[in-house]
Chains A and B, each alone.
Chain A
């Protein structure tokens, strides 16, 4: 079995590869659903409120005010879309 997180979609007729996460795969899928939305992310350190710019299998890219934060998904407790 490949060690890469990339797994081609098994749906017939679709040739586009999609990524899955080996850790928290369903959290990753859910986060993909809030891209471009304003969210509050509670981490083990505190919270951040901003706009989800991008989601990758192990981190979220969040734009907070004028700054960009890369938040490790493993350190997220919950995400609340605004």
Chain B
């Protein structure tokens, strides 16, 4: 089962200006092969399909709790995209082509299929697909896949970070670089316990150093480079059997029961030129009247 908290994983800065092409690039981090929808759905299905949940509880707990964090990451990337779409077009008489500024942007779906908001697709408009989900059922293979997936996701984030300096995109990517780094190490530690192999010696471990990415520094200062959350009030506590001890960056692993405090969910402006939300003042008053009537007032 799942519950939902009306908070974002972090506070996203409200931008002063938008950048539709930055939003298009950031879509890769949402619906791309190595995007948050992939990490989410991979761990989600692996958690549903886990054979031996009781016998291998720490591994099940790890995949299940990271799944819940990843839902929040999908939400965070989507909200960052939405905030980056600020002020691209303008309201006006339809004959004055108020959506003209959307015509030559990288992603026209943003202006036609959605009202300048996120879609579950990648930076070229290709839909996310279940084909990106790997749920072999073999524990070591799935953990190895997850390690690889988190490394790929990190690479994509580093590249999009270097494509745009829009402050909202940077803050979101900075946070996810830190949390992604935690997940890479978490799966590496899980593999070490499952197989006895020391991943830092087996493969050239990808550079997990966030020093060069300034947007990561505030989140490292909050200790988010060493914490893993259960994302549950009382379950998945056995992640502490995997997430313990020293980490490659020199810090010590810490498990927190529950969720981070996060930030507010941003509200989005009305876009009359997109007919969104498309509730006129008269409609709104009628809705208010109907709500009052049904409440018996």
Contacts and interface: CB of A to CB of B under 8 A. Distances in A.
B16 A40 contact: no
B18 interface: yes
A47 B87 contact: yes
B289 interface: no
A49 B90 contact: yes
A46 B92 contact: no
A47 to B, nearest CB: 5
A65 B89 contact: no
Given A46-B87, A47-B87, A49-B87, A80 B92 contact: yes
B16 A47 contact: no
User: Binding site of A, secondary structure by majority: helix, strand, loop or mixed?
Assistant: strand
B239 to A, nearest CB: 42
B101 interface: yes
Candidate in A47, A49, A67 with the most chain B CB atoms within 10 angstroms = A47
B16 A46 contact: no
Contacts of A56: none
A48 interface: yes
A49 B16 CA distance: 11
Contacts of A48: 17, 87
Interface in A37-75: 40, 42, 46-49, 64-65, 67
B275 to A, nearest CB: 18
Interface residues of B, number: 9
A40 B88 CA distance: 11
Interface in B8-63: 16-18
B101 A67 contact: no
A49 to B, nearest CB: 6
Interface in B74-99: 87-90, 92
A47 B92 contact: no
A40 B273 CA distance: 14
Interface of B: 16-18, 87-90, 92, 101
Of all A-B residue pairs in the complex, the 9 with the closest CB atoms, nearest first, are A67-B16, A40-B90, A47-B90, A46-B101, A49-B90, A47-B101, A46-B88, A47-B87, A48-B87
Given A46-B88, A67-B16, 20 more contacts: A40-B90, A40-B92, A42-B101, A46-B17, A46-B18, A46-B87, A46-B101, A47-B87, A47-B88, A47-B89, A47-B101, A48-B17, A48-B87, A49-B87, A49-B90, A64-B16, A64-B87, A65-B16, A80-B90, A80-B92
23 contacts: A40-B90, A40-B92, A42-B101, A46-B17, A46-B18, A46-B87, A46-B88, A46-B101, A47-B87, A47-B88, A47-B89, A47-B90, A47-B101, A48-B17, A48-B87, A49-B87, A49-B90, A64-B16, A64-B87, A65-B16, A67-B16, A80-B90, A80-B92
